[in-house]
């Protein structure tokens, strides 16, 4: 059968009869809704290359690159850039307008500046009447004047001669006595040559003030009205404003009378005491001081290239600022720690004895640990003074107290949360310290955002641990009432998990913000002032452990010297001040967990073989039960190291620190009056020289290196 062409086959097929209803059924089966059409089209697979090309079509960069490749004929570019005469005329007109406006502004501003300057000059250096042209005459000797009756009656005559009369040498402040006479009344004046000493006028005075560095614009009121003040000069550096502090009652009285007492009161340095003089002279009660303020003040002044005043130095503060790393006694108990050796800087034959009290760790109640969330304000106001540095030191000390089961979360916030650390353990303390010392204050304060982040970390913890929240800030609560209500509602949710809150206020305001106090009361807490790192640490430790960090109250330390072995002893530091005479300090002290208080003695031995130096006695009471405790420790001559290199590390530290403080205070120089000449008289240079021979383990400690940096800075100030 011959093949038919396609067009004939199509014609034959069109003539085939279709059964009735077939077409309608076919159409109904192919009718799709829009949803079905979309679903069907979505199943169609589109080639990936095709999709990528479609996405490139609307890209502006691709279009721009394509257009930049189009070559524009140079004739078109030249015609478009060619200026017409109308364009040139309009350009000249615009330039003329700008020049006229600039000239008008220059004249107006210049006139205003000139008139303002003239007003200030005229107010600071008022001139006489413009109609009077006086002749200035300065005369320091006798003169004869004759005044005619006509001249006395003619009051309308202007004074045209000003005579500056002064007795003796010319006053330093140019305080002349001015007398005004008409020229006609002067008949005989033997006036010396005045030269160029007198200022010719206000303009010359103004220029002289500028040349001398005076800032006349800042002192216009003082120069105009003579207000008692001090002129400000360009080279003046304003001093730092410090809040005045009353002197604390510190130190102790001396039992000496006569010359010894006079020496103590005059030099504020304890002289040697002979125990053979009586029972009272053989016993020394050591005030247990843990204050470090004098040491911190010296660091602050040294950073400003300033040397502290000797009256600011308290040797016991320097000794308390050192971490001696004594062995800890049993938790909740106190122990006596002693070290002895030769006096490196003292007179020949003298020895040093260190008697310290070390507090044990805090006895924590049996629990599953604590989750402590600390929210720290890092706004710009925290950069004032040393607020942020105190927070860093206080919080970083807490990292060392984390025990298994304890977790610490940090929220650092400004006008938003900038850092968040969730449930860090003791193994993460080094990373936490690096983070805390890397952040800097900046921006504003959003207390609501900081508390929201802190409460989120606290409420999301499902473990059955004790939950605590601490907010450290120096800001006030300034927010709408609605936001304040939302914050309180959020804090109230912490009651369901037994959370407790405490707010540490770093500001210097006289009163605590009532809104902060109300926030703390929602979670059974309070607001506490924390100006220094020590208080921050103790408050945080109390929140972490759930109890007061004080483990001993009414603590007393006394040392009784044996007169048969000890010829004389001298207490280093703990000198009385004037305020102590009015309000004597108590020798009782409270010691907190991990604290150490040290006493340092310089000793001279009796000739002989007796080795019983004395005995140290320590008494205290348990702050909870009130039960008394007593510890005795014998001090033997065999404990004294034969050389400085063999001394314990704690005594090596105490020797250098105490000598630095005594040099700044002038104690060593004062002892020369009594004939006690120290072996090393090179001052701070001698301290640095001795520090190079300490034990390598001590030289590697960060706190010891920080102390040496202080000595280096102070030595540079002396030079």
What are 454-473's pLDDT values in tens digits? 999 888 887 777 899 999 99
Task: Give the pLDDT of residue 2.
Answer: 58
State the pLDDT confidence band at 573, using cuts at 50, 70 and 90: confident
Predicted pLDDT of residue 554: 92
- Identify which has the larger pLDDT, 652 or 122: 652
User: What is the secondary structure of 527-582 as a DSSP string?
Assistant: EEE--SHHHHHHHHHHHHHSS-SEEEEEEEEEEEE-TTTEEEEEEES-B--HHHHH
- Mean pLDDT, to the nearest integer, of 373-392? 88
Mean pLDDT across the chain, nearest whole number? 79
Residue 580's pLDDT band (boundaries 50, 70, 90)?
low
Helix (H, G, I), strand (E, B) or coil at 698: helix
- Nearest-angstrom CA–CA distance, 291 and 80: 83
Contacts of 555 (CB under 8 A, 6+ apart): 288, 334, 357, 588, 589, 590, 591, 618, 619, 620
Q: Give the pLDDT band (50/70/90) at residue 151.
A: very low
Find out whether 446 and 487 touch, Cβ atoms under 8 Å. no
Give the contacts of 388 (CB within 8 A, at least 6 positions apart).
Answer: 378, 382, 440, 441
pLDDT above 80 (res 248): no
Position 95 pLDDT exceeds 60: yes
Per-residue burial over 513-531, b = 16 or more CB atoms within 10 Å of its CB, e = otherwise: bebbbebbebbebebbebb
Please name every residue paired with 178 in a beta bridge, in sequence order, or none if there are none. Answer: 164
* Distance from the first to the final alpha carbon of the chain: 126
Max mean pLDDT among 222-226, 607-611, 704-708 falls in 704-708
Q: Which residues pair with 410 in a beta bridge?
A: 374, 421
> How far apart, in whole angstroms, are the C-alpha atoms of residue 135 and residue 107?
37
Answer yes or no: are the C-beta atoms of 704 and 321 closer than 8 Å. no
| Cα 415 to Cα 449: distance, rounded to the nearest angstrom | 8
The pLDDT confidence band at residue 90, using thresholds 50, 70 and 90, is confident
Q: How far is CA 103 from CA 111, 114, 630, 666, in A?
A: 12, 16, 92, 69
* Per-residue model confidence as pLDDT tens digits over 502-537: 999 998 888 889 999 999 999 999 999 887 788 898
pTM: 0.62
Question: Using an 8 Å Cβ cutoff, are 561 and 395 in contact?
Answer: no
Q: Which of 22-31, 307-316, 433-442 has the lowest mean pLDDT?
A: 22-31
Q: In whole angstroms, what is the distance from residue 642 CA to residue 407 CA?
A: 48
Q: How high is the pLDDT of residue 220?
A: 57
At 240 the pLDDT is 46
Which SS3 state, helix, strand or coil, does residue 700 take?
Answer: coil
Q: What is the pLDDT of residues 400-437, one digit of tens each?
A: 888 888 899 999 999 899 999 999 988 898 888 889 88
CATH code of the domain made up of 370-545: 3.40.50.410
CA distance 177 to 167: 10
**Domain spans of the chain?**
135-200, 265-362+550-718, 370-545
């Amino acid at each position: 059968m011959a093949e038919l062409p396609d067009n004939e086959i199509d014609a034959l097929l069109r003539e085939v009869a279709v059964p009735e209803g077939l077409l309608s059924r076919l159409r109904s089966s192919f009718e799709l809704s829009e949803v079905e059409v979309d679903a069907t089209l979505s199943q169609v697979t589109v080639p990936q290359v095709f999709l990528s090309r479609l996405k490139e079509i609307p890209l502006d960069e691709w279009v721009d690159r394509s257009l930049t490749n189009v070559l524009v004929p140079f004739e078109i570019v030249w015609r478009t850039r060619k200026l017409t005469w109308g364009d040139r005329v309009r350009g000249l007109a615009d330039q003329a307008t700008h020049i006229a406006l600039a000239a008008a502004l220059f004249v107006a501003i210049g006139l205003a500046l000139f008139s303002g300057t003239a007003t200030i000059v005229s107010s600071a250096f008022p001139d006489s009447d413009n109609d009077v042209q006086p002749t200035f005459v300065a005369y320091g000797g006798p003169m004869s004047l004759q005044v005619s009756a006509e001249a006395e009656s003619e009051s309308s005559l202007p004074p045209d001669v000003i005579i500056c009369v002064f007795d003796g040498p010319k006053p330093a402040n140019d305080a002349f006595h001015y007398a005004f006479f008409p020229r006609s009344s002067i008949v005989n004046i033997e006036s010396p040559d005045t030269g160029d000493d007198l200022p010719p006028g206000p303009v010359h005075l103004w220029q002289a003030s500028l040349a001398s560095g005076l800032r006349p614009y800042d002192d216009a009121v003082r120069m105009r009205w003579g207000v008692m003040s001090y002129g400000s000069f360009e080279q003046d550096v304003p001093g730092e404003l410090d809040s005045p502090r009353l002197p604390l009652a510190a130190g102790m009285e001396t039992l000496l009378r006569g010359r010894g007492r006079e020496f103590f009161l005059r030099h504020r340095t304890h002289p040697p005491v002979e125990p053979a003089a009586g029972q009272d002279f053989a016993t020394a009660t050591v005030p247990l001081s843990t204050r470090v303020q004098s040491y911190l003040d010296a660091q602050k002044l040294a950073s400003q290239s300033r040397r502290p005043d000797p009256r600011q130095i308290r040797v016991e503060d320097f000794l308390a600022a050192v971490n001696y790393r004594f062995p800890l006694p049993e938790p909740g108990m106190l122990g006596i720690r002693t070290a002895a050796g030769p006096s490196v800087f003292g007179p020949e034959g003298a020895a040093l004895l260190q008697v310290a009290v070390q507090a044990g760790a805090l006895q924590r109640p049996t629990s599953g640990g604590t989750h402590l969330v600390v929210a720290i304000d890092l706004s710009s106001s925290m950069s004032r003074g040393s607020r942020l540095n105190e927070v860093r030191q206080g919080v970083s000390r807490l990292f060392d107290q984390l025990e298994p089961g304890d977790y610490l979360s940090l929220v650092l916030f400004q006008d938003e949360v900038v850092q968040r650390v969730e449930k860090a353990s003791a193994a993460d303390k080094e990373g936490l310290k690096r983070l805390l010392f890397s952040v800097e204050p900046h921006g504003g304060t959003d207390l609501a955002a900081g508390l929201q982040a802190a409460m989120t970390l606290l409420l999301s913890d499902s473990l059955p641990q004790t939950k605590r929240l601490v907010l450290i800030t120096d800001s006030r609560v300034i927010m709408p009432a609605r936001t304040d209500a939302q914050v309180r509602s959020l804090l109230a949710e912490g009651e369901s998990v037994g959370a407790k809150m405490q707010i540490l206020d770093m500001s210097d305001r006289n009163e605590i913000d009532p809104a902060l106090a109300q926030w703390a009361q929602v979670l059974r807490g309070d607001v506490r002032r924390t100006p220094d790192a020590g208080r921050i640490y103790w408050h945080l430790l109390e929140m972490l452990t759930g109890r007061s960090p004080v483990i001993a109250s009414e603590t007393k330390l006394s040392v009784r010297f044996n007169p048969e072995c000890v010829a004389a002893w001298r207490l280093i530091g703990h000198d009385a001040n004037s305020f102590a005479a009015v309000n004597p300090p108590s020798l009782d002290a409270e010691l907190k967990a991990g604290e150490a208080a040290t006493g340092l003695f310089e000793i001279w031995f009796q000739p002989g073989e007796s080795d019983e130096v004395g005995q140290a006695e320590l008494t205290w009471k348990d702050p909870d039960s009130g039960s008394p405790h007593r510890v005795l420790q014998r001090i033997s001559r065999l404990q004294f190291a034969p050389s400085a290199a063999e001394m314990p590390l704690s005594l090596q530290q105490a020797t250098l620190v105490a000598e630095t403080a005594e040099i700044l205070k002038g104690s060593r120089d004062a002892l020369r009056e009594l004939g006690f000449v120290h072996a090393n008289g090179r001052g701070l240079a001698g301290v640095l020289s001795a520090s190079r021979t300490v034990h390598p383990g001590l030289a590697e400690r960060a706190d010891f290196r920080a102390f040496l940096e202080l000595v280096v800075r102070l030595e540079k100030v002396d030079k």
